[in-house]
Amino acid sequence: MKIALLGYGKMGKAIEALLSEYGHTCVGKFNSENPATIETLSQADVAIEFSTPEQCSKNIALCFEANVPVVVGTTAWYGQYDEVISKMKSNSALLSATNFSIGVQITFHLNKELARVMSKFPEYTASIEEIHHTAKLDKPSGTAITLAEGILENAKNLTSWKLEEENGEEKLREGEKREEILNELNISALRLLDVPGTHTVRYTSEIDTIELKHEAHNRKGFAAGAIRAAEFIHGKSGVYTMKDVLNL
């Protein structure tokens, strides 16, 4: 396939480095200094989008106009999701994910199964910790939010998630009651140098702790998953996720 890269940062370069291994070629590398157009995009079979939350929805709309299926790995744009979907044409195709790592997708699946089991044991308190490189600006990560949503779908005593205070102190927000805090799932987000990504779900009781953890060793897993997603969406129309790619 001929792949266009929308966004040419660390992930775009990691994907480009793997394309030939999968038998594909890169027909365009686009960023703010070299923006894509309908004409340049139309040369591609599939576009893979890893830009910025501000640019993401514009790039997706451009792919719709160019009739090019698009795989979206940018996070923190989902507040515009419904608006973006409303612009789809009958032959448009979109596959988005907060994380394209196959291992992370398996972790998402196991996280929901574990949450179903742990919902029967209220003595355990659930929490999430995510660690990323210092260049990652959004907190918490899209992966952590997806893990949190998987827990909230199955937990009886939790109603929402919140980003934990960096100093670890529990604070009441204006108008908030303490019982509301007890019904929130805490997410801690750490930013360290040269960390591709680590996510840990913890269930802690007075007597023990249960952990589900995924630790990325490099960006290759994310890049490989994005390429597999591109192979899946080629020639299709509609809206898809990595669940469709992996048949989970």
Q: Read off the amino acid at residue 162.
A: K
217 is catalytic: no
Q: Which two tokens stand for residue 120?
A: 């029967």
Question: How far is residue 224's CA from residue 14's CA, in Å, rounded to a whole number?
Answer: 9
Instruction: Give me the residue label for tokens 């199964």.
Output: 113
Task: Given the residues 136, 220, 234, 236, select the one marked as catalytic.
Answer: 136
Order of all β-strands in the sheet with 2-6: 25-30, 2-6, 46-49, 70-72, 93-96, 238-240
Burial classification of residue 21, based on how many CB atoms lie within 10 Å of its CB (0-12 exposed, 13-18 middle, 19 or more buried): exposed
Question: How far is residue 239's CA from residue 113's CA, in Å, rounded to a whole number?
Answer: 25
Residues in the chain: 248
- Residue 11, SS3 per DSSP: helix
Helix (H) or strand (E) holding 118: helix 102-118
Task: Given the residues 24, 132, 199, 214, select the one marked as catalytic.
Answer: 132
Question: How far is residue 245's CA from residue 95's CA, in Å, rounded to a whole number?
Answer: 9
199 is catalytic: no
Do strands 238-240 and 93-96 pair parallel, antiparallel, or not at all (unpaired)? parallel
Cite the active site residues. 132, 136
